[in-house]
Amino acid sequence: MHKLFSPLKIRNVIFKNRIAVSPMCMYSSIDGFANDFHLVHLGSRAVGGAALIMQEATAVSPEGRITSYDMGLWKDEQKEKLKQIVDFIHQQNTQAGIQLSHAGRKASTNRPWEGGAQIQSDQRGGWRTLAPSPIPFKEGTEKPLELDKEGIENIKRDFLSSTLRAKEIGYDVLEIHAAHGYLINQFNSPHSNQRKDEYGGSFSNRIRLLLEVTEIVRKAWGEEKPLFVRVSATDWVPEGWNNEDSIRLAVQLKELGVDLIDTSSGGNSSQATIPLSAGYQVKFAEEIKKATGIMTSAVGIITSTSQSDEILRNDQADLIFMAREMLRNPYFPQEAAHELNEVVEWPVQYGRAKRSPKV
């Protein structure tokens, strides 16, 4: 069997292959509620054969949304539709994951297809953003409010409350979003964190919020199911966060019961220059995995069967997260199985379209 289609067990959860749908914001919610679009969007990728469907960044509070149209899980009423989606994913013998997030200073923006610009707090639809330090993401935009101790405690309580709701809904995997320049990433990086208290300055102080959130979430989530953390391995700017920092962080996250580091990069500086190429972030996942022994996932311009299988065969990562390729082709896992001559589940409703094995 090719590594791409070998099962993977993490705690009490078994992934039927190594292909996961990466969390991708759809900016299609009203007041944080999921709707039929999300049911079809996520459900079709479960039908396509991926082992894990990771729900988009889901805000732990209204002010933690990137846009007014982000998914949320800050109140009980939001659980009902999400439960329907999770149940459908489970019917396809696929695992359901949720990524919990707070956008920090990158909140209060227009949707990408509306330009993505920040909406200031005195403009319609905008609100004052929060951050470790009053440094805007882009010059000329409104400064965020620096979180005080009470505000930090509120953030931790929000992650706890959303975790408990996710557990009630029945998700199989929970991921803490500490990447792409959102709030926890902002605390981690010296590029965005210039605090002088116990949450700023030294490396151990800057990662304090993530460690505290992780400890709270792990306890509430329980020991039976996997806990992932998505990190930006590097800020791609001088004097910013880098992969050596990510390795040091991963050691401590592993001690707190994190099972896998979902390894991405960038997003914390508008001035970053990112050298995009096929699999350009895989090296970061590989370095973290080899240095710490923790499982990792690879993401970032991974688009082919051979590329995905090679990453796994070379022990550079344990899971392949795919984003844009899954938007283009929700049935990538089925096509990959055909390409590799693997026998995999096929929806009985689609049986007449199943290809014969390659000879």
Tell me the catalytic residues: 182
| Tokens 């605390």 found at | 187
Count CA atoms within 13 Å of residue 175 on its CB side. 28
Q: Are 105 and 131 in contact (CB under 8 A)?
A: yes
| Angle in degrees, CA 178, 132, 190, rounded to 5 | 70
Count CA atoms within 13 Å of residue 356 on its CB side. 1
Q: How far is CA 247 from CA 167, 242, 276, 280, 305, in A?
A: 29, 9, 22, 18, 28
Q: Are 22 and 321 in contact (CB under 8 A)?
A: yes
* 288: helix, strand or coil: helix
Q: Which helix (H) or strand (E) holds 230?
A: strand 227-232
Backbone angles phi, psi at 292, to 5 degrees: -120, -20
Joined tokens for residue 115: 């330009």
Q: Which helix (H) or strand (E) holds 215?
A: helix 208-221
Rg (CA), the chain: 20
Q: Are 190 and 133 in contact (CB under 8 A)?
A: no
Closest by alpha carbon to 245, among 235, 256, 257? 235
**Interatomic CA distance for residues 252 and 248, integer angstroms:** 7
